[in-house]
Amino acid sequence: MTTIIFESHATSLDNESKLCSGWNDVDVSKKGLQEAAELGERYGSKLPDVVFCSDLLRSYKTAALAFKNTGVPILIDDRLRECDYGTMTKSAKTLVEEHKMAHLTEPFPGGESYQQATTRMKHFLDDIRRAASGKTIMIIGHRATQYGLEVHINNKQLEAVVSEPWQWQPGWTYNLL
């Protein structure tokens, strides 16, 4: 069994502007810098074996700031990206929220569907299952990253996961068998 701790990336500039970034490579905000430091403090005495993050700046910068000088390997994997909102990238959060359910299996115009995003996560988890048995890993990612964890580890239906209101919390723990 592999223990996975999921942490969302620190607050980004787009988060503060209430925009959905998708694959837009936006930086963390001043608040996000503080959140990243706090993330590292939370795990200071119980470090994961490895941290995985997406290749988007808000994700890997959160990891780099949280775990600097700890010796914990930080590995970047583009399969951990947020859903690609295509032409809706950087749209108002309320607008994207209104259209989420229409894009469970149908891609956002010029982007991808939530099904495609969670399939990326399935391939990532298949690799982790083979390579990290008995380890504790942390994933610093996005909502679509967590949707994939809920679907492929907790066996939840994609429609239920996407429709549930999302609320930040300090870490979610998953057991990958």
Q: How confident is the model at residue 166 (pLDDT cuts 50, 70, 90)?
A: confident
pLDDT at position 42, please?
94
What six digits make up the tokens of 72? 């914990």
**Secondary element (H or E) of residue 130:** helix 114-131
Task: Using pLDDT thresholds of 50, 70 and 90, give the confidence band for residue 130.
Answer: confident
Write the DSSP symbol of residue 55. S
Q: d(Cα 107, Cα 137) in Å, to the nearest integer?
A: 30
Residue 169 has pLDDT above 90, yes or no: no
Predicted pLDDT of residue 167: 84
**Mean pLDDT, rounded, for 45-67:** 96
Which of 7, 35, 82, 112 is an active site residue? 82
Among residues 7, 9, 35, 150, which one is catalytic? 9
CATH number of the domain at 56, please.
3.40.50.1240
Q: How many folded domains does the chain comprise? A: 1
Active site residue 9: yes
Which CA distances in Å does 51 have to 12, 47, 54, 98, 158? 19, 9, 10, 33, 25
Q: What are phi and psi of 78, to 5 degrees?
A: -70, -10
Cα angle value 106/107/108 (rounded, 5°) = 120
Catalytic site includes residue 82: yes
The average confidence (pLDDT) of the chain is 95
Q: Closest by alpha carbon to 170, among 30, 46, 71?
A: 46
The dihedral built from the CA positions of residue 110, 154, 55 and 31, taken in this order, carries a sign that is positive
Domain around 40: 2-176
pLDDT the model gives residue 89: 97
Angle (CA) 72-78-84 rounded to 5° is 135
